[in-house]
A and B are shown apart, each in its own frame.
Chain A
Amino acid sequence: MADTTSNKPLEKIHGATVRFTGDSGDGMQLVGAQFTHVTGLAGNDVMTFPDFPAEIRAPQGTIAGVSGFQVHFGDHHIYTPGDKVDVLVAMNPAALKANLKDLREGGVLLVNSDELDEKNLTKVDYKSNPLDDEALKQKYRLIAAPITESTRRALAESGLTTKEIDRCKNFFALGLTYWMFSRDLEKTKKWLEVQFAKKPHLAKANIQVLEAGYHFAETAELFDIAYEITKAKFEPGIYRNITGNSALALGLVAASDLAGLPALYAGYPITPASDILHELSKYKNYNIKTFQTEDEIAACCAALGASYGGTLGITASSGPGIVLKSEAINLAVMTELPLVVIDVQRAGPSTGMPTKNEQTDLLMALYGRNGESPVPVVAACSPADCFDAAIEATRIALKFMTPVFLLSDAYIANSSEPWRIPEVENLPEIETNKVQPGESREGYKVYGRAADTLARRWPVPGTPGFEHRIGGIEKDENGNINYDPENHDKMVKLRQAKIDKIADFIPELEAYPTNKGGLLVLGWGSTYGALREATLRVRNQGYDVSHAHLKYLNPFPKNIEKVLRSFDKVLIVELNLGQLALLIRGKYLVPAYTYNKVRGRPFAIDEMEQVIIDTLKK
């Protein structure tokens, strides 16, 4: 909402990155989500990244308890949640201290000045009030707004307790930013009315505070400028914002629908995968049941039991839970049953950093099981891509009668971006190998295989005439236990050959913008946005560089070697110590350069730009 009554200047910009930070109880995630929403509705492209502590309520006012939500938006394609922050909202000294380093020079520093009292300053070892620091004022555009007091004043007549009033102050901050970016208040007001339908007095209070913040910005002399960002160009269609975990949940519902199979989602609570379970448990009218099991092992086993019964078994977890699922995944490999296993990777090893992200489970997905145990691996590259990845993982599992790994991570799980909602009729059909009732058993072999896919049939309990036994012990083609050395060798190779066959049914790898040249930047998973944007920026500087991103990590696309060999140099960038690089070098003997960091945070575009340029100069 470009306010026409305001006589302050309106500056047109192409994009900005705003980070809301405060105590974990300050409601930063909530206002961040609202800001995102309204920004999407205003026609900007947008990507977000929440950054919250693993502790639910760390001690108030401490660095450990700081929660942040970053929004990057603009009039062009937004690939990442942004590197440097243009506007930092800090609700207390801890938030200021923890986040200031990420604010770009000249950026707006909006601080709740009421919280900078001695007690709060001491908690984070500020010797004096940082806002009095001349250097700080020189470096940033400091706006010290009395957010707590202004909120209290706005709600003086509300009849709410001080505690209740103070819980509204996040909406004051939101109001300030809405003014700053010429946003419409109406959507958020409506949202509050719905959200607090049963407590209209709270809806009213928050709306009052939101408006108070907006008008404060308009009238106070602290704010000297507001921004306007024109709409981004999107493909025509209907859009919504979506996080990776939500997109996975919807993708799984869609996949079960496309396959015409009821689904069981079995899971055990774990960060950052639990949201998939929460979301799916609301969709009981969609032919998908959820089952919170006693442990991770049981979750995978129950999903496999569901698949054995002719329905779609799905389980999800994060690294520490995935390790516990390996025995059941291996049983699915051996019995050749479909199973979708989602790993929302987080920083490890062991408990690691539960809310932080990494791409360190690739080799576990590929090789973390006893015996020769080939499992296809699909990786999502952005929040919205999780929807397609879920459908693709399911398609492969059912078509090839195999467990499939779907790799996501904490970054895309919680980040959001606009998603063009697909037309249901354009989604791919998913076939199964199910034996139909009434089929004759003549010629049927438990491990007989289709010529094109090498997949076995799927006779499910309840089908007359197809009674048979399967299990984890090696079998012959007829499904009988067999310890013969030649048979084992044959079966091990057949199971591998079946997974290799998948390469015939997936798209080839395409480098962007060209399939040959000087440098190929190769990545997989959530680094997509940073790598793509950085590649384009470097290219704009006149360098010969392209980017390819692997969605299929096992098997690789058929043409991967050709693509790799069409470039003078290959640079593999990962948030691990070189897991994809190990595979690429080992399989194709390509001397790849690598760049690896494991900080629990995604790569920044600037950093990637530098790495690409450095590699080009090598």
Chain B
Amino acid sequence: MTQQVLTKKDFASDQTVRWCPGCGDYGILTAVQKTMPELGVAKEDVVFVSGIGCSSRFPYYMNTYGFHTIHGRAPAIASGLKIMRPELSVWLITGDGDALSIGGNHLIHILRRNLDINILLFNNEIYGLTKGQYSPTSAKGTVAKSTPDGSIDTPFSALRLALGAGGTFLARTFDKDMKHMEKIVKAAHTHKGASFVEVLQNCVIFNDEVFEPIVGKEHRHDTMIFVEHGQKMLFGENNSKGLKLNRGTFEIVSAVDNPDQVAVYNANDPHFLQTFEAVGGKNGIPVPFGVLYQENRSTYEDDLQAQVEAAIAKKGRGDLRKLLHAAETWEVR
């Protein structure tokens, strides 16, 4: 089974995909199905776990093991699975409502514990399946079904939250760029630990073109920046612009005139992501895409297994009979 060369088709289930025509989820599905055969993991060892929401229908379309669970709880379910079956490749599909609102608690804890699970968060800044209410990532003032006068709560950045929670792999990609998505999905798989990928995803029905100011084709060279660890932060037409570090924030410089002033992106330094999430998308500073933060830290399941092995080394493999008698006993004849 594992020796057979698999293709995208092997990872597509026989179920009709039922997202709205034009939904950004189609692109993500294609990118994931295309990437899967390249990961070198046997199909039976791949599990997709999801919560509730449009994104969470994803496992039904993957011809792997799949578990469509309950709203917000996928990280907890996936954690139990991964702890007991660390050899499996576990993928978690979630959305901005699922992961950041009802499931916020589970999300921060899976990141903190650093289980080796790949989390793809489809962020469309809206509740789609419940037909259009604002979400925790909707911009303040969003007019939606439940906020006819505009939302009044401040959205948060999924990536900053994930960083604060101790995430060890934080990345952003978007539904319109297959190549970039595939690259990030692969990098997420390669990273040992919890990989958190925010995918900016367009909801054609309830929040169409919400990301156009960032990802619109005509201007994206100015509004997006693709960063890479160890590479200069360049953007703009023909990479003519660069970002310079200045007093803890970014300043736009001409990469043509002052190439030396352009800072090199350091994905191991959390300040880059922090700064981007604070100033990106404002005053001409672009929004970053790519692997934005990465660190190596042992995983929960490995540390737990190490404790198990240490216990076995110290006490020997458990013997039920001995355990039942491990107290002061007396015999009645």
Binding site for B on A (CB under 8 A): 37, 40-41, 43, 187, 234-242, 250, 253-254, 257, 262, 264, 266, 283-287, 289, 291, 293-295, 297-299, 301-311, 313, 327-328, 331, 335, 421-422, 424, 461-473, 480-481
Contact = CB atoms under 8 A, between A and B. Distances in A.
B44 A465 contact: yes
B81 A309 contact: yes
B318 A306 contact: no
Contacts of B47: 461
Contacts of B60: 469, 471, 481
17 contacts: A40-B330, A237-B332, A264-B84, A285-B314, A285-B318, A297-B106, A298-B109, A301-B76, A302-B80, A304-B77, A309-B84, A328-B70, A328-B73, A421-B329, A464-B43, A465-B44, A470-B68
Interface string B25-65: 00000000000000000111111010010000001101111
Interface in B295-325: 304, 307-308, 311-312, 314-318, 320-321, 323-325
Contact of B85 (A41, A299, A462): A462
Interface in B101-129: 105-106, 108-109
Nearest to A469: B66
Contact of A464 (B42, B70, B77, B318): B42
A284 B307 contact: yes
A77 to B, nearest CB: 13
B196 to A, nearest CB: 17
B73 A303 contact: no
Given A41-B330, A463-B44, A283 B66 contact: no
B282 interface: no
Contacts of A235: 332
B83 interface: yes
A328 B75 CA distance: 13
A464 B1 contact: yes
B87 interface: yes
B323 A286 contact: yes
B64 A467 contact: yes
A515 to B, nearest CB: 30
B332 A234 contact: yes
Given A421-B329, A469-B68, A253 B323 contact: yes
Given A297-B73, A468-B66, 16 more contacts: A40-B330, A237-B332, A241-B327, A250-B323, A264-B80, A285-B308, A285-B317, A291-B80, A293-B76, A293-B109, A298-B73, A301-B69, A306-B81, A462-B88, A469-B15, A472-B69
Nearest to B304: A289
Interface residues of B, number: 62
A264 B13 CA distance: 31
A313 B80 contact: yes
A489 to B, nearest CB: 22
A187 B329 CA distance: 12
A461 B307 contact: no
Contacts of A253: 318, 320, 323
Contact of A291 (B79, B88, B333): B79
Interface in B258-279: none
Given A239-B329, A298-B73, A472-B70, A304 B80 contact: yes
B78 interface: yes
A236 B333 contact: yes
Contacts of A298: 73, 75-76, 79, 105-106, 109
B328 interface: yes
A196 B88 CA distance: 45
Contact of A301 (B46, B73, B327): B73
Contact of A306 (B52, B68, B83, B308): B83
B311 A285 contact: yes
B325 A461 contact: no
A238 B329 contact: yes
Contacts of B66: 467-471
B257 interface: no
Contacts of A470: 66-68
A286 B321 CA distance: 11
Contacts of A289: 83-84, 304, 308
Interface in B134-168: none
Given A291-B80, A304-B77, A472-B68, A467 B329 contact: no
Contact of A302 (B65, B77, B304): B77
Nearest to B42: A464
A81 B328 CA distance: 21
Given A253-B318, A289-B83, A469-B60, A37 B70 contact: no
B37 to A, nearest CB: 14
A307 B77 CA distance: 10
B331 interface: yes
A289 B75 CA distance: 18
Nearest to A246: B327
B320 A257 contact: yes
Given A298-B73, A469-B59, A461 B328 contact: no
B44 A464 contact: yes
Task: From B62, B82, B87, B318, name the one whose CB has the most chain A CB atoms within 10 angstroms.
Answer: B318
Given A289-B308, A305-B79, A283 B68 contact: no
A48 to B, nearest CB: 15
Contacts of A238: 325, 329-332
A421 B59 CA distance: 47
Nearest to A480: B15
Given A471-B68, A472-B70, A305 B329 contact: no
Given A289-B308, A291-B80, A468-B66, A283 B85 contact: no
B85 A309 contact: yes
Contact of B63 (A266, A293, A467): A467
A242 B308 CA distance: 26
A422 B321 CA distance: 9
A421 B84 contact: no
A294 B302 CA distance: 19
B69 A471 contact: yes
A250 B324 contact: yes
Contacts of B45: 461-462
Contact of B81 (A308, A421, A465, A472): A308
A234 B79 CA distance: 46
A306 B320 contact: no
Contacts of B76: 293-294, 297-299, 301-302, 305
B88 A239 contact: no
Task: From A237, A285, A304, name the one whose CB has the most chain B CB atoms within 10 angstroms.
Answer: A285
Contacts of A465: 1, 44
A295 B47 CA distance: 24
Nearest to A286: B318
B77 to A, nearest CB: 4
B137 to A, nearest CB: 22
Given A187-B328, A239-B332, A306-B84, A471 B78 contact: no
Contacts of B317: 285
A289 B42 CA distance: 26
A610 B127 CA distance: 61
Nearest to A231: B332
A195 B130 CA distance: 60
A465 B43 CA distance: 9
Nearest to A307: B80
A257 B321 CA distance: 11
A486 B85 CA distance: 37
Nearest to B88: A461
Contacts of A295: 105
A455 B328 CA distance: 42
B325 A240 contact: yes
A331 B84 CA distance: 19
Nearest to A42: B330
A242 B127 CA distance: 52
Contacts of B314: 285
Q: Which 3 A-B pairs have the closest CB atoms?
A: A471-B68, A305-B80, A302-B80
A289 B303 CA distance: 12
Contacts of B320: 253-254, 257, 286, 424
Contact of B312 (A187, A285, A311): A285
